[in-house]
Structure 1
């Protein structure tokens, strides 16, 4: 197949022959009158024989690092009586897949969402709570994006399609998942309401050979305020065979004891003091009755 065009090497030829900048190809904006610049805009090129069930190959004879980051959006439920907690959670994981090539990437990764994220390999997470109990997951959204981090590959005259290609060895894939997770947490209430509680949620890559990849924490510390229950602490990781295969989210809650002091302890203490003061009164004083004078009665008579 040949493409006969008067456009330059850095331009894209619309189906009607109009020339536009190649940067405008698949930029989520219609630039060609016939809309051909936004046709066939899948961001990934799969090589022959590619299987989404196979993890990415090693990089420089070493395991593939999977950069992981957790964001706790909010504490949705804190059930002290039933020892349950529910949180809104965002999971982000980034890695390189050297088998792939990407097409027409934009600077904002949100514009580089894959049409079908199941066509490429992505980590599968298994969630475990600190009690090894039942976890209820409700997936809100899930997708795979491409992060543009390099210049495009040199133009290949053997390919007739006018588009920029990017190397999969230099541009990260981003898996992003939004979910609501409800899990069990053991609350130690001996010091209630002056207690601090710790809950744990662990994440493990499911069905994955530790020799092929390992988890890397993006940031050393995550801190989010949760005014109604306390605060959250950072992720920690556990080791197995010198590879990071599991990471742990630790939630630490400190009780707002000032609320209980002001609304329960202080009123109760005042009642105790009042009851004790009544013991200092003579018993006969409790039989005294006061009556309003006639002048006061007349004053309120219309």
Structure 2
């Protein structure tokens, strides 16, 4: 059996379980011939299933929403070969087949386009249906030459002597149209994708120049700037419908993406800081002045003309994008039925319309004067944004009231952002590099990058009284490093010594997560150590008496020793998170210790003395935690600030002992 199947398609949404281009049921096999596009934002696959499930083939392709694509698949079940063309992709090879028996396709079945059919009567699901368009469908009972497949996939109109068994025509001769499908005529040239250098969206809100620039930037766009007379007219014809909303007393409709320098008399682009290659500035308004350093385009009364304009005037921003604007949604629970990404596509109620790849529509609802969410599969799922300003957009951190979702809460905060994976989103929607998050310097205009900067994430139920969980029933290791920095005094007659020490305790707590760790541990300071379990030291001298400890300073830092865990978009904030089980906590203590030393004075001063301190963990059993030396080869170090200290003092202390129990 030989088959060639060709179709042109455009997806407006992706079905959750795939987008069937052809589904043929026969002989109790629902995937007897099944051509489907599996679409996810991160990857797209053309899948071909055949012959009672014995053939399953998947090929990675590049498929975008909202644009036309062209695919041809030919296969020969006798030779077990296939040929596939999808846009500019072409490949051929052996079909992946299970079993050595001959391949066959059952007859007397039912073939459906745009839906997966599970039985002769239908068995169709909303989650396995195309929301989009298919055109120029052809199915031949032969394998056509690869040149035909390639030309078709490149939006050509190839010719062949073979006659298709199934095809589209104006009267839909061989297909019956059922359900909500509509039939229309379209020219082939309208289905051929042409890369657009500009995708423009008007934000019908009157803003000053700087606010307009920021509004475009938070969507990863720039302010529009026509570069030819033809483009100037095309843009004007597209946005003049916003004239009544956007034109103010100055008579202009949208800001232009350049700014003037009064001292030089030049206009410079915002993107690239270069002089204009083309302009349409009116005489008398073509030179930047101190009070008119911006420029805008005349509205319906002064069409197409550019005018120098005071930057503080309120005019609408027209944003330019190099690709379809895309946004991520953060803060949804794992069971939410909402899409976790959005695209900007057209307008609804005269404002930009955000659509999810699967189900969700986010749009301006005039009745409630706010942004709303609807779900095309679950009509009961709705949401409304609580706007803090009349011209607020859903970009950034916003509060939403939900009905009908699966998260169990009616009101929640969501972050809708165009920022990239290496960026952090300010609450107002602006983007900054992640490295500037919580760096003790304000980078967001709303200062939100320096909020919620607690390094340690403490889970519910965490107890500061309990040590970290044991791993494989072994006590939690707490390592101790001791450095003696100075000897304050030696009282020979009173058998006393006073020393300054730096104590470092190292351990890991698998209950915790840390966020935004840096390689420099001094930047990883825990703000409130009292919220965490901290090891407490007991210090005894040689007589087993408790030494007197006088704290000088204390700090808790984290050593970054492992990479961040994969991002979880249920978290509202884009903080990099690190496991407490893989990154070490370090408690730095600077103490003065006053303790007794049993000097042996029989040969004093011609002798050597030995003093000892014993460290142990307090308020925790040895089964739960164990104190260890930081490194076996390390010994306590003694440094003397005065290099001229008496020789007998150096000698007396050279054998000072430190024990860790």
TM-score (normalised: structure 1): 0.74
Q: How does 1:41-80 map to 2 (within 5 A)?
A: 41-80=453-492
Distance 1:136 1:63, change over 3 A: closer
Q: How does 1:12-27 map to 2 (within 5 A)?
A: 12-27=424-439
Distance 1:9 1:201, change over 3 A: same
Residue 101 of structure 1 contacts residue 168 of structure 1 at CA under 8 Å; is this kept in 2? yes
Q: How does 1:274-293 map to 2 (within 5 A)?
A: none
Task: Mark the structure with the bigger radius of gyration.
Answer: 2
Report whether the alignment pairs 1:224 with 2:638: yes
| Distance across 1 between alignment mates of 2:558 and 2:456 | 9
Aligned to 1:96: 508
| Distance across 2 between alignment mates of 1:185 and 1:137 | 15
Report whether the alignment pairs 1:8 with 2:420: yes
Aligned to 1:155: 567
| Distance across 1 between alignment mates of 2:479 and 2:654 | 21
Distance 1:121 1:232, change over 3 A: farther
Report whether the alignment pairs 1:182 with 2:594: yes
Distance 1:28 1:232, change over 3 A: farther
3-state SS of paired residue (1:60): coil
| C-alpha displacement of 1:118 | 1.3
Report whether the alignment pairs 1:128 with 2:528: no
TM-score (normalised: structure 2): 0.35
3-state SS of paired residue (2:415): coil
| Distance across 1 between alignment mates of 2:571 and 2:540 | 48
Residue 610 of structure 2 contacts residue 657 of structure 2 at CA under 8 Å; is this kept in 1? no
Report whether the alignment pairs 1:30 with 2:442: yes
| Distance across 2 between alignment mates of 1:188 and 1:235 | 15
Distance 1:104 1:31, change over 3 A: same
Distance 1:38 1:49, change over 3 A: same
3-state SS of paired residue (1:4): strand
| Distance across 2 between alignment mates of 1:234 and 1:79 | 15
Aligned to 2:555: 143
Aligned to 1:114: 526
| Distance across 1 between alignment mates of 2:504 and 2:557 | 11
Residue 144 of structure 1 contacts residue 173 of structure 1 at CA under 8 Å; is this kept in 2? yes
Task: Give per-residue Cα distances to partners, 1:85-126, cap 9 Å, x unaligned.
Answer: 100011111111101000111222222121111111111111
| Distance across 2 between alignment mates of 1:234 and 1:201 | 9
Aligned to 2:228: none
| Distance across 1 between alignment mates of 2:587 and 2:626 | 15
| C-alpha displacement of 1:157 | 1.3
Q: Which runs of 5+ in 1 are unaligned?
A: 238-245, 248-302
Aligned to 1:289: none
3-state SS of paired residue (1:23): helix
| C-alpha displacement of 1:235 | 6.0
Distance 1:217 1:32, change over 3 A: same
Aligned to 1:192: 604
Residue 222 of structure 1 contacts residue 233 of structure 1 at CA under 8 Å; is this kept in 2? no
| Distance across 2 between alignment mates of 1:108 and 1:234 | 33
Aligned to 1:201: 613
Residue 45 of structure 1 contacts residue 102 of structure 1 at CA under 8 Å; is this kept in 2? yes
| C-alpha displacement of 1:187 | 1.1
3-state SS of paired residue (2:417): coil
**Count of aligned residue pairs for this structure pair:** 239
Aligned to 2:295: none
Task: Give per-residue Cα distances to partners, 1:124-154, cap 9 Å, x unaligned.
Answer: 1111111234532211011221111111110
Distance 1:151 1:233, change over 3 A: farther
Residue 134 of structure 1 contacts residue 184 of structure 1 at CA under 8 Å; is this kept in 2? no
| Distance across 2 between alignment mates of 1:118 and 1:233 | 37
| Distance across 2 between alignment mates of 1:105 and 1:235 | 37
Structure with the greater relative contact order (CA < 8 A, sep ≥ 6): 1 or 2? Answer: 1
Task: Give per-residue Cα distances to partners, 1:242-292, cap 9 Å, x unaligned.
Answer: xxxx43xxxxxxxxxxxxxxxxxxxxxxxxxxxxxxxxxxxxxxxxxxxxx
Residue 223 of structure 1 contacts residue 234 of structure 1 at CA under 8 Å; is this kept in 2? no
Residue 223 of structure 1 contacts residue 232 of structure 1 at CA under 8 Å; is this kept in 2? no
Report whether the alignment pairs 1:170 with 2:591: no
| C-alpha displacement of 1:35 | 2.3
Distance 1:232 1:118, change over 3 A: farther
Task: Give per-residue Cα distances to partners, 1:37-81, cap 9 Å, x unaligned.
Answer: 111100011111100100100123322111110010100111112
